[in-house]
């Protein structure tokens, strides 16, 4: 992760966002279920295990999921899935973490309009933001932070709101608006002091230390980091102790207190290793490597940088892998090992192309590094430099060719996505429909088409404004995307009209999916978006078997049934009438 105005930030920004978990949601009310005691104890044990080693946390959380699944209470099951998702995140299993947290949000019987369930849903969204941020997807992280913020506002949970806004402060930090970020962090510290939340107070002070350090206010940075470290140590919060000690090391280093920084870096490394969170250990080792490089201890810096990169590759943390190769390129170049420097630089450039949306910035970075490497080679041997220039020119042409090819693929992919809802657009859907029709005709495998149209959507725009209307369309797109399988296709056809293609699905299956979608849209907490807002949708479903896999007739049949659903009173699914014969 990078600060856009000053320096590369190794460890602290990711740590700050991870620090935003806050207290676990309150345990659910007791019931008379026979397995209640076991489920409650298992969930409590999982929450307690979060402060221990990662392996123990993962095991306890998985046991809690099993116990709460048998219990049948949706509140406890969602809570267990949230803990399991967080444990998977700490273990570096980001995709597994997202899967578990998404299951928590979608637990049957968990009513997102019920105040008693809102804290769990808010926590799930917040932790999904943490995972997406660790994966380098700030846009999706921000989307889940907004969901969490909306939920906390709805139930007037001030500590929860403070935690989310602290995370928003981190986003502001990354955009370079450090003064605004300090406002967010200061508010969170004040709230933590009000409720005497030591862990949150330590995290907030660490965030202030990082931000003041970036502003060049080193004495403030050290003072806040020392206070954060003292609070974490006093209350025995292991994750807070590790993160605050890392940030203290960075503050000491920035203030020129190298001996104290070295001790803090070593202490923090031991704490991170004991905690077992590989993502933050990788971040810390990279920060330590940069400190050692600044002390001209290149060999030691290389050792730490290689260890950081190995961890990053192991947990598939792409941004850390990219930054690790960049650090190693610089260190090898400093030692005159230009072949290794070039190798790591090329890996760094490859990762940058994947992660950076600004092609001009990528090209500028490539030219800068290539120029520096060429100059260094010329200084040692003119003849060798001339050959290297020819070789590097050829390599650069190949790299540019690959860059153009990748950009072309990215543009093609973007042309198939609806800009507002981020699901497939009409062109992509029609292409997929014809492919599926051809497959169904060859293999005699059925598929279904469901048309979706939001009811009275013009009135939404007229009453609440087009901005709210756009938000409604985004949310409906997200509902459709999350509800269908990877083999299916959800698309926006235009305006308030959507379509869902369901592979390998019969008529009964199509009705089940359509009813699920209808319920999800009708029961969404639209009031959180705007008081008085209510959204429903009508559905028309048809299957390929009814039309001999003819895509044109399938579209006509599903559209006619959608019209029938509208005429019959809206907010319903129609899948049987009219028949194809009635249309001919």
State the pLDDT at residue 281.
87
Q: Which of 383, 414, 445 is the last residue of a domain?
A: 414
Give the C-alpha separation, 305 to 290, whole Å. 8
Q: What is the CATH number of the domain that holds 386?
A: 1.25.40
| 358 inside domain | yes
The neighbouring-strand residues paired with 433 are none
| 408 inside domain | yes
Radius of gyration of the chain from Cα atoms? Answer: 27
Residue 45 has pLDDT above 80, yes or no: yes
Give the C-alpha separation, 191 to 263, whole Å. 32
Domain that holds residue 539: 426-583
pLDDT per residue over 315-370, tens digit each?
877 878 888 899 898 898 888 888 888 888 888 888 878 776 543 443 454 455 44
Based on the domain organization, do 362 and 438 belong to the same domain?
A: no
Q: Which of 362, 385, 414 is the last residue of a domain?
A: 414
CB 479 within 8 A of CB 517: yes
Q: Which pTM value belongs to this model?
A: 0.46
Q: Which of 387, 414, 441 is the last residue of a domain?
A: 414
Based on the domain organization, do 392 and 537 belong to the same domain?
A: no
| 576 inside domain | yes
| 352 inside domain | yes
Question: What residues contact residue 424 under an 8 Å CB cut-off, 6+ apart?
Answer: 416, 417, 418, 432, 489, 490, 491, 492
Percent of the chain, pLDDT > 90? 38
Based on the domain organization, do 434 and 555 belong to the same domain?
A: yes
Based on the domain organization, do 380 and 511 belong to the same domain?
A: no
Query: Three-state SS string across 455-510, please?
Result: CCHHHHHHHHCHHHHHHHHHHHHHHHHHHCCCCCEEEEEECCEEEEEEECCCHHHH
Based on the domain organization, do 549 and 470 belong to the same domain?
A: yes
CB 493 within 8 A of CB 426: yes
Based on the domain organization, do 509 and 472 belong to the same domain?
A: yes
Query: Residue range 299-321: average pLDDT?
Result: 86
Based on the domain organization, do 388 and 432 belong to the same domain?
A: no
Least confident stretch, 56-60, 200-204, 265-269: 200-204
Based on the domain organization, do 390 and 530 belong to the same domain?
A: no
Using CA atoms, how far residue 182 sits from 1, 169, 209, 213, 275, in Å, is 18, 7, 10, 12, 28
State the pLDDT at residue 378.
65
- Nearest alpha carbon to residue 244 among 188, 284, 206, 197: 206
Based on the domain organization, do 430 and 463 belong to the same domain?
A: yes
Based on the domain organization, do 448 and 375 belong to the same domain?
A: no
Least confident stretch, 146-155, 360-369, 472-481, 490-499: 360-369
| 31 inside domain | no
pLDDT per residue over 1-42, tens digit each?
323 222 333 334 334 443 443 333 333 434 444 445 788 888
Give the C-alpha separation, 457 to 491, whole Å. 18
Q: What is the CATH number of the domain that holds 505?
A: 3.30.70.270
Based on the domain organization, do 362 and 294 belong to the same domain?
A: yes
Least confident stretch, 248-257, 363-372, 477-486: 363-372
| 149 inside domain | no
Q: At what angle do helices 318-334 and 298-314 cross, to 10 degrees?
A: 160
| 94 inside domain | no
State the pLDDT at residue 160.
84
| 340 inside domain | yes
Please count the structural domains in the chain.
2
Based on the domain organization, do 555 and 441 belong to the same domain?
A: yes
């Amino acid at each position: 992760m990078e600060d856009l105005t000053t320096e590369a930030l190794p460890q602290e920004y990711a740590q700050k966002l991870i620090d935003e978990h806050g207290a676990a949601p309150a345990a659910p009310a007791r019931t008379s279920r026979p397995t209640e005691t076991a489920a409650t104890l298992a969930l409590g044990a999982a929450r307690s295990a979060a402060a221990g080693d990662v392996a123990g946390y993962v095991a306890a959380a998985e046991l809690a999921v099993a116990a709460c699944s048998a219990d049948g209470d949706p509140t406890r099951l969602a809570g267990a899935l949230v803990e399991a998702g967080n444990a998977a995140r700490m273990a570096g299993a980001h995709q597994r973490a997202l899967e578990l947290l998404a299951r928590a949000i979608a637990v049957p019987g968990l009513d997102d309009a019920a105040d008693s369930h809102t804290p769990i849903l808010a926590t799930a969204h917040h932790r999904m933001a943490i995972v997406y941020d660790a994966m380098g997807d700030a846009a999706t992280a921000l989307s889940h932070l907004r969901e969490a913020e909306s939920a906390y506002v709805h139930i007037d949970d001030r500590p929860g709101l403070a935690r989310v806004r602290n995370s928003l402060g981190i986003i502001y930090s990354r955009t370079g608006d450090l003064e605004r970020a300090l406002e967010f962090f200061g508010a969170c510290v004040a709230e933590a002091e009000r409720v005497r939340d030591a862990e949150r107070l330590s995290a907030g002070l660490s965030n202030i230390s990082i931000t003041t350090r970036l502003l060049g206010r080193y004495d403030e940075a050290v003072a806040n980091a020392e206070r954060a470290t003292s609070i974490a140590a006093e209350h025995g919060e292991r994750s807070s102790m590790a993160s605050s000690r890392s940030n203290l090391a960075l503050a000491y280093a920035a203030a020129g207190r190298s001996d104290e920084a070295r001790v803090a870096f070593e202490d923090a490394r031991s704490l991170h290793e004991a905690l077992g969170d590989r993502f933050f250990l990788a971040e810390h080792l990279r920060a330590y490597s940069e400190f050692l490089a600044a002390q001209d201890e290149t060999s030691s810096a290389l050792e730490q940088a290689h260890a950081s990169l190995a961890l990053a590759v192991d947990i598939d943390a792409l941004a850390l892998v990219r930054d690790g190769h960049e650090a190693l390129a610089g260190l090898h170049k400093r030692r005159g090992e230009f072949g290794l420097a070039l190798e790591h630089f090329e890996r760094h450039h490859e990762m940058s192309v994947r992660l950076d949306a600004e092609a001009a910035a990528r090209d500028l970075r490539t030219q800068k590094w290539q120029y520096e490497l060429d100059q260094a080679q010329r200084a040692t041997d003119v003849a060798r430099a001339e050959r290297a220039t020819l070789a590097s020119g050829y390599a650069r042409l190949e790299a540019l060719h690959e860059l153009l090819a990748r950009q072309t693929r990215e543009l093609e992919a973007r042309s198939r996505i609806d800009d507002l809802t981020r699901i497939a657009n009409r062109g992509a859907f029609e292409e997929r429909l014809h492919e599926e029709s051809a497959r169904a005709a060859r293999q005699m495998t059925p598929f279904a088409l469901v048309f979706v149209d939001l009811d009275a959507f013009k009135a939404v725009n007229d009453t609440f404004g087009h901005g709210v209307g756009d938000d409604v369309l985004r949310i409906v797109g997200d509902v459709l995307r999350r509800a269908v399988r990877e083999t299916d296709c959800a698309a926006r056809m235009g305006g308030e009209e959507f379509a869902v293609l369901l592979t390998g699905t019969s008529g009964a299956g199509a009705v089940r999916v359509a009813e699920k979608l209808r319920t999800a849209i009708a029961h969404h907490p639209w009031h959180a978006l705007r008081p008085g807002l209510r959204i429903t949708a009508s559905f028309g479903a048809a299957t390929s078997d009814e039309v001999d896999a003819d895509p044109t007739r399938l579209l006509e049949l599903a559209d006619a049934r959608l019209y029938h659903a509208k005429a019959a009173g809206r907010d319903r699914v129609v899948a049987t009438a009219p028949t194809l014969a009635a249309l001919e």
